[in-house]
Every structure is written in C-alpha cells, then in structure tokens.
C-alpha cells in the first residue's frame, strides 16, 4: 500500500517535470531546425542538421543583438536606480527617528498592490507631449518606480538587522548622517543587493506592456517587444524565431540553474515579507 502511494507520487513528479521541461526542449530544438524538419517528419526529435544559421539571422537581420543590448541596459540602469533610491529611503525610514516614518513607510508600501496599468494613460500622455517616448529613459524611470516598493521592503528586512550601535559609534566619531549611510550602512547592505537585483531583474527583463505601449521605434525595443516584431516578420520561418526565443531565455535559465538556491530564496523573501 505504502509502496503504491510512493510510486504514485513519483509518477506525478516525473509527469510534471516533463510538462515543465518539454516546451523548453521544444523551443531549443526547433531553434536549430529548418522548415523541412519542423513542418516535416522531425517535429519533436533532435535536429538532424544543426542549423546555427538561425541564430545568425536572428541576431543579425532579426536585430536580436540590439534588443538584447537594450534589455540589458534598461534592466541594469533601472535596478541600479531602484536599489539606490530604496537604500536611501529605507535608511531615513528605519534608522533616523522621526514622527511620520511609519506613515511614510505605509505610503511606499501602497506600491506593492498598485498595478502597472494604473499609471499608463497619464504617463503616456505626458511622455508624448514632452517628446520623451522612444528613449531608454522612457522605460527606465517607470521600471525603477514600479520596483521601488519591493526594493524598500527587502531593504528594510536587511537594514533592521544591522546593529544600531554602529550608527551611534559613527555619530560619536563625528560621522554625520550622510557619512554613516555611505561609509557604514551601504557596505553592509551587500547581501540585500542580490535579493533585490534578482527580483527587479525579472520584472524589468520580461516586462511587456509598458515597452509595447511606449516604444514604437525599432532602435529602442527591448527583447519582449523585439520578439513580437520578429515573429511578425518571420511568420513562415520558425527557426529564427526559435533562436530569438532561446537568446532571450537561456541566459536567464543558465544563470538560474547555477544559482538556483539563491534565486529561490530571493523570491521567497520578496513574497513572504510582502
């Protein structure tokens, strides 16, 4: 009886593993096939002829190299701004005593429930009137803002763990509040960086709605918008689309497999504290 139950559990685990991995496997294999194989007899097998040229056309004529660079730039700068603004705010909220700090914290936490859709109309109108659509900053500013609340939440978790004696000692040594923040607190916040970074990375790297609405010029497209454009251009040629999907996805997946525990912990920290 017990043995049977155990087998059932393992069958379930294996089936769900296959359901999870198959689409990823399928994506990888068709990125290396020509139409004759994809549309012909070799739909799900390994490619017979490994067509790496799909990747050159995706990166070259498909502009995936540019989109990749854009995504990297937008994501990196957004995360940097979000982390810096969050650390500064958290310092003022948790380590300086003042009356309205609790209320201000609650105010920032509103951002955890506000959907991206909330700001799309006014932000779009303002940006288009100021001729600020189709720039990197068009996405960087909203992305930093929308990751801010979570960044502050995670920062708070880490910052309250730093002993408060350190601040007092620093003040006695003649450090001002700014000195204390930059010289004492910031260096101790390194462990928080990766947690926030991982969380914010996914939000920015994969974000589609703002990017789709705010960016119409090909030069500033990020990966998700670029892939949509590419699939419109290559409707009959699946190989390069597959290659584009792999290019957008595998760097994340490979990093994840290498750092899976750290990444999982970051998500747990982000959600459970929220």
Which range touches other proteins (CB under 8 A), out of 47-55, 56-64, 130-138, 222-230?
222-230
Stretch that binds other proteins, among 60-68, 159-167, 189-197, 260-268 (CB under 8 A): 260-268
Contact between 211 and 221 under an 8 Å Cβ cutoff? The reply is yes
CB of 190 to other proteins, least distance (A): 19
**How many other C-beta atoms lie within 10 A of the C-beta of residue 90?**
25
The residue among 121 and 169 lying less far from other proteins, judged by its C-beta, is 121
Q: Which of 73, 90, 79 is nearest to 194 (CA)?
A: 79
Is residue 257 near other proteins by the rule CB under 8 A? yes
- From residue 245, how far is each of 62, 117, 143, 144, 240 by CA, in Å? 12, 26, 23, 25, 9
Nearest by Cα to 221 from 68, 23, 10, 51: 68
Q: Does 199 bind other proteins (CB under 8 A)?
A: no
86 binding other proteins? (CB under 8 A): yes
Angstrom distance (rounded) from CA 131 to CA 155 = 35
Q: Is residue 203 at the binding interface for other proteins, with CB under 8 A as the rule?
A: no
160 binds other proteins per the rule CB under 8 A: no
Which 52-71 positions form the footprint of other proteins (CB under 8 A)? none
- The least CB distance from residue 44 to other proteins, in Å, is 6
Site for other proteins in 109-148 (CB under 8 A): 110-111, 113-125, 128, 141-142, 144-146, 148
Tokens of 203: 């939000």
């Amino acid at each position: 009886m017990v043995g049977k139950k155990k087998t059932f559990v393992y069958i379930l685990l294996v089936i769900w593993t296959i359901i999870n991995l198959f689409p990823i496997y399928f994506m990888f294999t068709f990125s290396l096939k020509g139409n004759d194989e994809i549309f012909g007899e070799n739909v799900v097998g390994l490619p017979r002829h490994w067509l790496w040229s799909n990747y050159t056309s995706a990166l070259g004529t498909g502009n995936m190299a540019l989109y990749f660079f854009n995504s990297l730039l937008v994501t990196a700068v957004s995360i940097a701004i979000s982390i810096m603004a969050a650390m500064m705010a958290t310092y003022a909220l948790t380590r300086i005593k003042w009356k309205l700090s609790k209320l201000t914290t609650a105010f920032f936490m509103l951002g955890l429930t506000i959907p991206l859709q909330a700001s799309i109309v006014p932000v779009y109108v303002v940006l288009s009137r100021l001729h600020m659509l189709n720039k990197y900053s068009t996405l960087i500013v909203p992305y930093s803002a929308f990751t801010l609340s979570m960044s502050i939440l995670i920062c708070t978790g880490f910052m309250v763990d730093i002993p408060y004696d350190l601040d007092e000692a620093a003040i006695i040594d003649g450090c001002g509040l700014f000195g204390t923040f930059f010289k004492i607190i910031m260096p101790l916040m390194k462990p928080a960086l990766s947690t926030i970074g991982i969380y914010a990375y996914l939000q920015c790297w994969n974000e589609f709605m703002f990017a789709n609405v705010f960016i119409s010029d090909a030069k500033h497209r990020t990966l998700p918008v670029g892939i949509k454009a590419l699939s419109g251009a290559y409707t009959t040629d699946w190989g390069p689309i597959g290659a584009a999907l792999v290019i957008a996805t595998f760097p994340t997946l490979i990093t994840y497999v290498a750092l899976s525990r750290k990444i999982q912990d970051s998500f747990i920290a982000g959600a459970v504290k929220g």
